[in-house]
Structure 1
Amino acid sequence: MNQDRANAVRDLVTRVYALAQAGDFDAIRPLFSPDFAFVEADDLAIGGTYAGFDGYLAIWSEIARRWTAVSSRLIDLTVSDRGAVGIMELDVVSAADGQSYHLEIAEQFEVAEDLTIKRIKPFYFNTKLANQSLAI
């Protein structure tokens, strides 16, 4: 493994997390590759592949429609010279029922050769609970 590149991957993914949490999508745009995809599991209420930066904005819009509040914490980040996996905890409030939900997810980041994010793929520990929180 190329340690310098792994460190650059860590910096990139950490920056994306910080910018997403701040809602600074304009600053995120150049960090994504032209063929970027956000891939949600098909069995989720928001399942599917969201292509390009417009797809990234679309998934955030859909999440904002389904969750009235979101608090996230990055628990751990494991990196290589090809990508990263972030372990996160989310506390969300469902727009449908007003209930609070605690969700645990892992997000796989695939990083392109030019150090841009090519793919983000979340994995929810409890998809039943995730779907319940995402219901409309």
Structure 2
Amino acid sequence: MSISTTLKTWAKRIKRDGVTLWFAGKHPGTPWHAKALGLFVVAYALSPIDLIPDFIPVLGYLDDVILLPVLIWLTVKLLPADVLAECRVQADEWMRTEGAKPRSRLGAVVIVCLWLAVGVALWFWLRPHL
């Protein structure tokens, strides 16, 4: 198996598991701690706005390549096996019929609020020095 095939397979699995977490967040068998982390991960993963914008050289892609897959992996590990299997089936069906991942407006709002909070904090920190 070539490296490009391996990477494509890995990327599809990560994308599927992101959608799996979306379904797991609604599943009654998901533990509260997995739902809490999953809610954060799904809001970020499905947000049309990145925490670190992609136009920033190197750093812009680190969240997509490292941070997001690690958070998805960790959250998937917290799910019970039966819930994970059921939600993966739902995710596969969703991706087959819809052809795209769902979008999260809440995720976009959270990211925008986080950027605004960082901007305000920076302003208060820099204001005495200017």
TM tier, smaller: under 0.3
Higher relative contact order (CA 8 A, sep 6+): 2
Larger radius of gyration: 2
Q: Which has the higher helix share?
A: 2
TM-score normalised by L of structure 1: 0.25
**TM-score normalized by the length of structure 2:** 0.26
